[in-house]
Amino acid sequence: MTLWIRPELWLRVTIVLAAAYGLFFMENSLTYFTVQSNLLALGYYVWAVHRMITTRTVTSPAPRLRGPVVYWLAITGLVAHFLLNNGANPFPALVTGDDLIREWCAFALHYLVPALALADWLLVRPFRATPWSQLPLWLLFPLGYGLFAEFRAFVYPAYPTPYPYFFLDPTANGYGWVAQQFGILALEFAILAVLLLGLDRLVHRNGSTVRAE
């Protein structure tokens, strides 16, 4: 089977196209974790597609980087669905929304790219490449993002959108409430990291660890 008809290649091409569409066809800001995580995904999967084409093989460059990219996208999708959209069905807005381009862009960044990246994580080698000891490092980006947002808003209150997400905003409930949100989210994010890496171990429990390429 030639590379050009391998589903792994076209899965990654689809991730690249979905992320590029969501990022570049509506106004975005690096203030948002959604944009940052999708930019990282775009960079990684462009690299992965390039490597596959140049080596003519199904390969995953820096597989220990792929894990946190998938994890950060999972955070993006889950936070958007459950905290920002209150678990609402996203599909009706794709056909009845006032701004369909924006709705489709948001859907690509919040749902499509995270789901496709999870599929890539579970279906494309190497499997079982990330050690459990790396999981605390996965948490540094989302927690550092939140802490930096608080610091930026404190020293630069005129910054546009100083609190990009409601759970970072101390205006109504104070910093104690924000600290509580940080604690809850840190615990939930840690559980998500364990579940994601555990899913890799469970799905591929009969397979051997594949050497990173």
Residue 137 lies in a domain: yes
Helix (H) or strand (E) holding 67: helix 63-78
Q: Does residue 210 belong to any structural domain of this protein?
A: no
Does 212 fall in a domain? Answer: no
Cβ neighbours of 23 (radius 10 Å): 19
AA identity, residue 24: F
The domain in which residue 183 lies consists of 3-203
Does residue 191 belong to any structural domain of this protein?
Answer: yes
Asked if the structure places residue 176 within a domain, the reply is yes
pLDDT mean by block of 10 residues, the chain; 213 residues: 89 98 94 98 98 93 95 98 97 94 97 98 92 96 97 94 95 96 97 96 70 40
Give the separation between CA 99 and CA 34, rounded to whole angstroms: 19
Question: Is 169 strand, coil or helix?
Answer: coil
Number of domains in the chain: 1
Taking each helix axis as running N to C, give the angle between helix 63-78 and helix 113-123, from 0 to 180 degrees, rounded to the nearest 10.
Answer: 140
Is residue 213 one of the residues assigned to a domain? no
Q: Would you say residue 209 lies in a domain?
A: no
Check residue 212 and give its pLDDT.
39
Report pLDDT for 108: 98
Nearest to 22 by CA among 96, 103, 115, 88: 103
The DSSP secondary structure of 74-123, one letter per residue, reads HHHHHIIIIIISTT--SSTHHHH-S-HHHHHHHHIIIIIHHHHHHHHHHH
Residue 109 has a pLDDT of 98
Residue 65: inside a domain: yes
